[in-house]
Structure 1
Amino acid sequence: MLTPTLFRSLFLGGFECSTHRRHDGRRLDLIAATGHDRWAAEDYRGMLRHGIRTVRDGVRWHLIETAPGRYDWSSFLPMLRAARELDVQVIWDLCHYGFPDGIDVWRPQFVDRFARFAGAVARLVREETDAVPFFCPVNEIAYWSWAGGDRAMMNPNAEGRGWELKHQLVRAAIAGIEAVRDADPRARFVHVDPVIHVAARPERPEDQGEAAAYTRAQYQSWDMTAGELWPGLGGRPELLDVIGVNHYSDNQWFLGGGTIGRGDPHHKPFRAILADVWERFGRPILVAETGAEGDARVPWLEYVTGEVLAAVEAGVPVEGICLYPILDYPGWANERHCPVGLLGYCGEDGQRPVHRPLAEALRRLQHRIETRRLQTLRVA
């Protein structure tokens, strides 16, 4: 039965905290754009009202490190203290695509600066709270490498350098982990990347090998962190902790394009993807991001939860499911209202409308899981 041992609730809430520069140079800050920076305490209370006691949230490096080695904590301390006062457990993203201006991501100084920053965050967190801290060192290394290193969609806006960027981000993550552990040996880490499935088109069976290789590539940043791939980067097995898997409805596609929907015979059940991750790494798993837009929110959460329960019953240790983003947000490219959250845009008083169908589905699923857990305990 799904009984988390690391997190305080089965369902988590993820606050969109991207801070990258787009291809046109504009800096995004989704914590500010959603009003979460001003209303963090009220947002955390909103999570508690829905039985969510653990969240993912972000530390905005570009706001904090105002000059090399000089840290202004004013954007972070109110969030950290609100979480402490409300007893909300947080997985803090240390680098969610964004970094301070003036750092060249391709140079060794990027790794050094990030490590010092990560260590400084860990020391501050330890000063402010006695709880065992959780961090995501560098969010979605695989996606960032593709979007920023191959497709010039975000910083560093490069093309054809995705493999190089992946190496550099893994170096930074490893250095960050070591710096955090120096500051607080209790710290735990969630290594977050998308999980995918790529299939050959039915009319092109000769592409099956290439499609399988593309699918296997999803593991590269985790393999590098564990030292199984490119060990010269400094990876070691003890650096790989909780595996955070992100999965959405468009994470499966045919080689060359075309999403594989759930009704397609080439669709791979999410339970099987989770089992593959467990078999390969043998680490606890968190569904670190999942969600859908509009009316698809409820059926998608029901599907993912059912698949996670099936995986757990088959022996896969899934620690929880993070609804992401938990707040509606303005789209990266055009600022359109993306209705994805359990909670909507906030008013001047910090209050947010609740998406009732999703709230009711969440309550049903929580009750269902708790009922099955109690039945299992009685049988035992």
Structure 2
Amino acid sequence: MNLKNPLPPLNSFFMGGFECADHINRSGERINLQRETHHHIRVADDYEALKRLGISVVREGVCWSAVEVKPYIFDFSALLPFFKAARKYKIQIIWDLCHFGYPEDLVPTHPLFVSRFVSFCEQFLQFHLRHSNQRPWLIPINEISFLSWHSGDMRGTVPFAVNSGWDIKYHLCKAKIEAIKAIKTIEPCAVIMAVEPLVKIHAADDTIDSQKLEELNSLQFQAMDIILGRKCPELGGDENLVDALGFNYYYNNQWNHLNVTLPWPDVEKKHTPLSHLLFEAYFKYNKPIILTETGHFGKDRDLWLEEISAECKKALEMEIDLRGICIYPVIDRPDWDNLNSYSNCGIWDLDVHKNRIPFLPYLKSLQNCTPLFTNNDKKLKSKEISAIDA
């Protein structure tokens, strides 16, 4: 990190993530979870509610499929309430430019995908600079590893392919690299994040050797390695393109080589502790990191947050430059492939009218965990001020 242009401190250690998937699901239907949860019309109320909990940072999505009204022509006006609410409640926004969806006529291997995506990123940045005095925090493409697997190997969304995960990943990385370069040309101070799942694959038995297991675990870092120029140098990746890394971690992010998920709660102590996974990722790349998505479903949401918070506290004690935890999502969401089935995964669940119904044990857990990181916020802000003065 360049001390003359240090990573700015975030306004709170805990963050709130709002679902923004806008892809085409397995039924061939376009979904938009911002709209399904009514977040797009209740954003001011949602920000006010988070502020009361001491949360001043959010993850939001631009929804490329919604704002590109025709090729290279964009209408970002639907995002004005987000910027207005952010100013009113002093909320810092980390923007996903492409969470999971593309415009109707594009797939990552399309000849015009890169140029259209770069144009989209450039024009959103210009819109951001006109409507916010905050330093832009941008995630150009979220979870390339997952998206390429989901769309290129599992027929989960366009192009509904199999045996094409690597090809999709390669082209998504190409688009992201070109977009970052364009963004940095317009606004060198923009904070760029690369966000990927953090997983651990274990040996189920002695039918797999340690080298093969290591190879399986290394696949999760392919996209970051490409963006940072450690793989596929012909795409022009570079360490300096990315300012911070994000890792998404859920209860099912650890499984064995036979594709059986390790159960949580981890009664048999088979999981690798999250703090150890964060340690490995941090010292692989030596960049500030954020736990950009974490959360759980149903009645054990509070227990999950307590465990994650304890592990993140351990990570800080291991001198990992961890900048925050994003609870994802803070508002419940429907299933991608069945919009009538809700997940019961938010700080607030939803009733039939999309009213926010607080899940009280989760709120209590957040209240208990927040003080764990108060001193870290103060230390980090002091460090950043010292770096700027230097």
The TM tier, using the shorter chain, reads over 0.9
Residue 328 of structure 1 is matched in structure 2 by 332
1:267 maps to a residue whose letter is H
Q: What pairs with 1:249-264 in structure 2 (closer than 5 Å)?
A: 249-261=251-263, 262-264=266-268
**Are 1:355 and 2:359 counterparts?**
yes
Structure 2 distance, partners of 1:346, 1:355, is: 12
Residue 378 of structure 1 is matched in structure 2 by none
Q: TM-score, normalised by structure 1?
A: 0.93
1:232 maps to a residue whose letter is E
2:115 maps to a residue whose letter is D
User: Match for 1:141 among 140, 144, 147?
Assistant: 144
Structure 1 residues 372 and 138: CA distance shift in structure 2, 3 A: closer
Larger CA deviation: 263-272 vs 95-104? 263-272
* Structure 1 residue 186 displacement after superposition: 1.2
* Structure 1 residue 367 displacement after superposition: 2.4
2:124 maps to a residue whose letter is V
Structure 2 distance, partners of 1:313, 1:300, is: 20
Deviations 1:250-297 (CA, angstroms, capped at 9, x unpaired): 100000121123233431110000000011000001000000011111
Deviations 1:317-361 (CA, angstroms, capped at 9, x unpaired): 10000000111111112221111111122686x752211111111
Residue 127 of structure 1 is matched in structure 2 by 130
* Structure 1 residue 369 displacement after superposition: 3.2
Structure 2 distance, partners of 1:304, 1:323, is: 10
Root-mean-square deviation (Å): 2.0
Residue 338 of structure 1 is matched in structure 2 by 343
Structure 2 distance, partners of 1:306, 1:116, is: 42
Structure 2 distance, partners of 1:289, 1:250, is: 13
3-state SS of 1:353 partner: strand
User: Match for 2:305 among 301, 305, 311?
Assistant: 301
* Structure 1 residue 209 displacement after superposition: 2.5
Structure 1 residues 206 and 62: CA distance shift in structure 2, 3 A: closer
Would the aligned equivalents of 1:286 and 1:319 in 2 still touch at CA under 8 Å?
A: yes
Deviations 1:212-241 (CA, angstroms, capped at 9, x unpaired): 211111101110001001111110110122
1:151 maps to a residue whose letter is M
Residue 208 of structure 2 is matched in structure 1 by 206
User: Match for 1:216 among 197, 215, 218?
Assistant: 218
* Structure 1 residue 200 displacement after superposition: 1.1
Structure 1 residues 271 and 234: CA distance shift in structure 2, 3 A: same
User: Match for 1:18 among 12, 17, 21?
Assistant: 21
Residue 243 of structure 1 is matched in structure 2 by 245
Q: What pairs with 1:100-111 in structure 2 (closer than 5 Å)?
A: 100-111=103-114
**Are 1:60 and 2:63 counterparts?**
yes
Q: TM-score, normalised by structure 2?
A: 0.91
Structure 2 distance, partners of 1:13, 1:173, is: 24
* Structure 1 residue 161 displacement after superposition: 0.7
Task: Number of aligned residue pairs: give it.
Answer: 372
Q: What pairs with 1:121-200 in structure 2 (closer than 5 Å)?
A: 121-200=124-203
Would the aligned equivalents of 1:60 and 1:76 in 2 still touch at CA under 8 Å?
A: no
3-state SS of 1:127 partner: helix
Would the aligned equivalents of 2:202 and 2:213 in 1 still touch at CA under 8 Å?
A: yes
Structure 2 distance, partners of 1:374, 1:287, is: 19
3-state SS of 1:189 partner: strand
Structure 1 distance, partners of 2:110, 2:248, is: 29
Would the aligned equivalents of 2:16 and 2:330 in 1 still touch at CA under 8 Å?
A: yes
3-state SS of 2:41 partner: coil
* Structure 1 residue 211 displacement after superposition: 2.1
Larger CA deviation: 51-60 vs 67-76? 67-76
1:324 maps to a residue whose letter is Y
Residue 289 of structure 2 is matched in structure 1 by 285
Residue 229 of structure 2 is matched in structure 1 by 227
Structure 2 distance, partners of 1:60, 1:308, is: 30
Structure 2 distance, partners of 1:141, 1:192, is: 8
Deviations 1:40-77 (CA, angstroms, capped at 9, x unpaired): 11111111011110000010111111111211123222
Structure 1 distance, partners of 2:327, 2:290, is: 11
* Structure 1 residue 143 displacement after superposition: 0.2
Structure 1 distance, partners of 2:298, 2:16, is: 17
* Structure 1 residue 13 displacement after superposition: 0.3
Name structure 1 gaps, 5 residues minimum: 376-380
Structure 1 residues 371 and 275: CA distance shift in structure 2, 3 A: closer
Residue 30 of structure 2 is matched in structure 1 by 27
Would the aligned equivalents of 1:35 and 1:346 in 2 still touch at CA under 8 Å?
A: no
Structure 1 residues 167 and 50: CA distance shift in structure 2, 3 A: same
* Structure 1 residue 23 displacement after superposition: 2.5
3-state SS of 1:316 partner: coil
Would the aligned equivalents of 1:191 and 1:242 in 2 still touch at CA under 8 Å?
A: yes
Would the aligned equivalents of 1:133 and 1:187 in 2 still touch at CA under 8 Å?
A: yes
Residue 4 of structure 2 is matched in structure 1 by none
Name structure 2 gaps, 5 residues minimum: 1-6, 380-390
Would the aligned equivalents of 1:190 and 1:243 in 2 still touch at CA under 8 Å?
A: yes
Structure 1 residues 66 and 290: CA distance shift in structure 2, 3 A: same
Structure 1 distance, partners of 2:313, 2:251, is: 18
Would the aligned equivalents of 1:199 and 1:212 in 2 still touch at CA under 8 Å?
A: no
